Chains A and B, each alone.
Chain A
Amino acid sequence: MTTIERPAYKVIGSRPVRPDGVEKVTGKAQYAADPRPQGVVFGKILRSPHAHARIVSIDTSEAERHPGVLGIVTAADFPQAEDKVQDLGEGAVNLRELSDNILASEKVLYRGHAIAAVAAASPHEAEAAAQKIRVEYEVLTPVTNVLDAMREDAPLLNETRHTKMMGGQHSERPSNIAAYNQFKAGDADAGLAESDLVVEREFTTSMVHQGYIEPQSSTASWNADGTITIWTSTQGAFVVRAQVAEVLRIPVARIKVIPMEIGGGFGGKIPIYLDPVAALLSKKSGRPVKLSMNRTEVFEGTGPTSGTVISVKAGAKDGKLHAVQATLRYEAGAYPGSPVGAGAMTMLAPYDLEHVEIHTFDVVVNKPKTSAYRAPGSPAAAFAMESVVDELARTLKIDPLQFRLNSASKEGTKQVTGVPFARIGNEEVLNTAMTHPHYTAPIEGPYRGRGVASGYWFNGGMQSSVVVAVNPDGTVNLVEGSTDIGGTRASLAMQLAETLSIPYDAIRPIVADTDSIGHNDVTGGSRTTVASGMAVYQAGQDVIREMSSRAARLWSVTPEDVSYEDGVFHCLKDSTKELTFKELAAQGARTGGPIAGRASLVARGAGGAFGTHIVDVEVDPGTGKTTILRYTAVQDVGTAIHPSYVEGQIQGGVVQGIGWALNEEFVYDENGRMLNSSFLDYRMPTALDVPLIDAVIVEVPNPGHPYGVRGVGEVPIVPPLAAIANAVADATGHRFTQLPLSPRRLIEELDGGD
């Protein structure tokens, strides 16, 4: 662990057991599919077998007569949603498109697109009844590839969609290109012309899925008083509530969303799919309805991340990156909204260079609507950029990390948006990687190679709200509204313990439902430990202020005459008077009532962060299999609140990146049907596929956060794609520009390659 300028903390930096741990290792923790409200029945969704078709008619009469059927819902049951855009935190959505994506009204735009839903006494009956719904389609030609979709003669997903250009103008012709944008600084043409070396390449990545192990599940009860209760798996209960309110046109206060424990999300559990359908089925059946996806539905019917085609032309001058021209084309899926903008804004973040020109295209295709996936947009862009940087450095015979150091962004460097960086840890990360024993050890042997790559993510701020209640025995309830995907109860309780100078064990964190705490944005964008952490800090300060005034009342002094240090309140007017936190907590009833603190904020000052990865691989030229021999991930996290969970985030992100690099892809046939919608055929890494991952924590505190936190979860998935491709290039002498680097692709390109 490399630490720069960090104060001495008591709790922060320790490794306590997480508050929800015992429930999760004993099987007691309740996830979305677990609750069984009294009288619950089961729903099943009917999905489109076609990738692109007009819905001519839907006939539910036979299904309605199926024994045990309690209700059927189609898009006709939805009120017409407003054609407006709502920001969900990690990406904005148009509510009419959201509604259409939940249940298709006029057209189906991808195989797996939901059309209707049935409620019945058992899941088996619901499934049998759903098969009896007759849908007549006019089948249309699908387009599933971003380059095909951009052609002028491509089949159009939406005949009324025109390309949204910069400045709000629209293209004259309708198009599958939903949006075009550009970023410019300096003069890229001139910069490339004066470069010592220029490399130009085109890169392709496939659509990949977050692969959370828990399928989406939602149980809804439309109550007799017109209120709705929803038990669901989500990264943001308040965002579910807002979306359901919009789609069903119901006041927000009448909807209560209970966030269950969440079995992984990685961005994929921000949009809603099941919740309003379960609610309407409940209204029709008069019973609580449980609606769960199976794994095929998750692959075919939820949002993965974009397949991409990215062109990069980059020039080096005087041993540094000098000029870059790039074109990013991202598949949005069935509706606009790929993370292409974030790709453009992150790909050059590690570099300080003069001349930049980036063009971005957001393109709809007949595949599921994409949603956020860990550092959305950044990994594919980094794959392209970091591959080209590697090639520049190697051709110039400069160490690839040294080349990055020569060109490294630092505090004050202007980003492609023109906004200068605040204090960042890019150089510290690169220096730590260069001197790491992994990097200084030799790599030898045939078909073995080493690769490095860097990556960046902004990290999030956004809205958080917490309440801290001090109990008479000195214990504390921390009520927060951020779903705990990977240990944030612990990281927030630790920050509160630090703020209040009380033991971690004295704090009980609770993830509350939407009736019980103010709005909290999603657990996404690596924001929770940062932003809810800021709220926890402010609420803790609020408690200390309140308790100081209570002590002042007891001592007949003013609150300014009370200080708080190391868990003890002192009277500045009389040094014999002091009360511990616990002693004063017991005085609540005598000094003005229950003691509580609160904070609601829009977090500013989130700190962007960098990672640099080193990987050794061995390629088997006979089978095409790539084995990861050793992996080291160096990352600036600002401050590691709970180092074990920081390491875990880094290791998990790396392994998702390994899967993306080597095996994972959505495979489609010519009719737009996904051919590998199971965990057998969509090949995610197993324990056998990866080595131990050395997570090296660098701490360059974020000046915008009271404890210097930057956020952790997203950066580690950015570098692996390029790092592994660079290692394979080192091992084989062949530059691969298409992912995944599956055995088949390796064999094909190595046998017939250039």
Chain B
Amino acid sequence: MTRTHVETRLNGVERDFLCEPRQSLLEVLRDELGLTGTKEGCNNGNCGACSVILDGRIVNSCCVLAVEIEGQDLQTIEGVAHGDQLHPLQSAFLDEAALQCGICTPGFIMASKALLDREPDADEARIRHWLAGNLCRCTGYDKIVRAVRRAETAMEEMNA
């Protein structure tokens, strides 16, 4: 099958790749670019494990065709920390024990980041509403919600 050339900005760096038009962004991230931090849970937009941030919006990468991201800005879990400098959300997930098996964690961190990037003081109800597109089967969400609140406080202190 003919492959299409796609140019994008991936985790802050200009990047291009070849892909088949039928390949999803999730498939290209994992199979072509070796970025396996984005996870597949359902491949039909229901679990949020493959959440990435595309031009500032949270999307399920399984429901985006890779050719669609031409010229767009893409953030994946691999770009959230800088070296060993974790993002406050990542630290908060660790400190609050907000992961058990961890398979949904990259998706939750991306979704939470998209929320806090625009609403840094979201309350519990808003967080639960925003995260309703991400399934976690281990934690019961309690510690995830607490971790996002904790990250809000940490980010506020950093910006103060």
Contacts and interface: CB of A to CB of B under 8 A. Distances in A.
A binds B: yes
A33 interface: yes
B125 to A, nearest CB: 9
Contact of B135 (A648, A654, A686): A686
B77 A27 contact: yes
Contacts of B135: 211, 213, 679, 684, 686
Interface string A21-35: 110111111110110
B137 A264 contact: yes
Given A17-B95, A30-B36, A214 B41 contact: yes
Contact of B138 (A124, A264, A642, A688): A264
A22 B105 CA distance: 11
A648 B143 CA distance: 7
A680 B43 contact: no
B103 A263 contact: yes
Contact of B100 (A645, A654, A693): A645
Nearest to A34: B36
Given A263-B103, A264-B137, A648-B97, A678 B145 contact: no
A615 B129 CA distance: 22
A652 interface: yes
Interface string B5-33: 00000000000000010100000001000
B109 interface: yes
Nearest to A633: B140
A347 to B, nearest CB: 24
B137 A687 contact: no
B122 interface: no
A305 to B, nearest CB: 14
A536 interface: no
Contact of A29 (B81, B102, B137): B102
A215 interface: yes
Interface string A361-389: 00000000000000000000000000000
Contacts of B97: 15, 18, 487, 642, 644-645, 647-648
Nearest to A15: B97
A36 to B, nearest CB: 7
A685 B43 CA distance: 19
Nearest to A30: B36
Which of A33, A265, A648, A649 neighbours the largest number of chain B CB atoms within 10 Å of its CB? A648
A24 B39 CA distance: 12
A341 B136 CA distance: 30
B104 interface: yes
B104 to A, nearest CB: 5
B81 to A, nearest CB: 5
Interface in A637-662: 642, 644-645, 647-649, 651-656
B117 to A, nearest CB: 17
A18 B99 CA distance: 10
A299 to B, nearest CB: 10
Contact of A295 (B42, B137, B139): B42
B100 A212 contact: no
A124 B131 CA distance: 32
A690 B129 CA distance: 11
Contacts of B49: 213
Contacts of A487: 97, 100
B42 A678 contact: yes
Interface in B85-135: 86, 90, 93-97, 99-106, 109, 124, 127-129, 131-135
A261 interface: yes
A213 B41 contact: yes
B37 A486 contact: no
Contacts of A21: 93-94, 99
Given A266-B137, A651-B142, A693-B140, A124 B22 contact: yes
A212 B103 CA distance: 9
Given A21-B99, A263-B39, A654 B140 contact: yes
Contacts of B44: 295, 678-680
B68 interface: no
A680 B76 contact: no
B77 A262 contact: no
A653 B160 CA distance: 39
A33 B41 contact: no
Interface in A255-270: 261-266
A293 to B, nearest CB: 10
A695 B141 CA distance: 13
Given A22-B86, A213-B41, A688 B132 contact: yes
Contacts of A213: 39, 41, 47, 49, 101, 103-104, 135-137
A487 B103 CA distance: 13
Given A21-B94, A27-B76, A27-B77, A485 B100 contact: yes
Contacts of B80: 26-27
A486 B101 contact: yes
A554 interface: no
B90 A26 contact: yes
Nearest to B127: A687
B42 A24 contact: no
Contacts of A27: 35-38, 76-78, 80, 106
A22 B85 CA distance: 11
B141 A655 contact: yes
B95 to A, nearest CB: 7
Contacts of A14: none
Contacts of B105: 24-25
B153 interface: no
Contacts of B77: 26-27
Contact of B39 (A20, A31, A294, A656): A31
Most-contacted residue by chain A among B36, B43, B80, B124 (CB, 10 A): B36
Nearest to A24: B102
Contacts of A653: 140
A253 interface: no
B137 A211 contact: yes
A264 B38 contact: no
B144 interface: yes
B36 A24 contact: no
Most buried by B among A213, A485, A648: A213
Nearest to B142: A651
A687 B132 contact: yes
B3 to A, nearest CB: 12
A263 B101 contact: yes
A21 B37 CA distance: 14
Interface of B: 20, 22, 30, 34-44, 46-47, 49, 76-78, 80-81, 86, 90, 93-97, 99-106, 109, 124, 127-129, 131-146
24 contacts: A18-B94, A24-B102, A25-B90, A25-B105, A26-B90, A34-B36, A212-B103, A212-B137, A213-B39, A213-B49, A214-B101, A261-B101, A261-B102, A263-B104, A265-B101, A294-B43, A295-B41, A644-B97, A679-B46, A679-B47, A684-B137, A685-B140, A687-B128, A693-B142
5 interchain residue pairs of minimum CB distance? A27-B37, A263-B103, A655-B140, A486-B100, A27-B77
Interface of A: 15, 17-18, 20-22, 24-31, 33-34, 36, 124, 210-215, 261-266, 294-295, 485-487, 642, 644-645, 647-649, 651-656, 678-680, 684-690, 692-693, 695
Given A485-B101, A644-B96, 19 more contacts: A20-B102, A25-B105, A26-B86, A26-B90, A27-B37, A27-B77, A31-B103, A213-B103, A213-B104, A214-B39, A215-B40, A263-B39, A264-B137, A295-B46, A642-B97, A685-B140, A686-B135, A687-B145, A693-B142
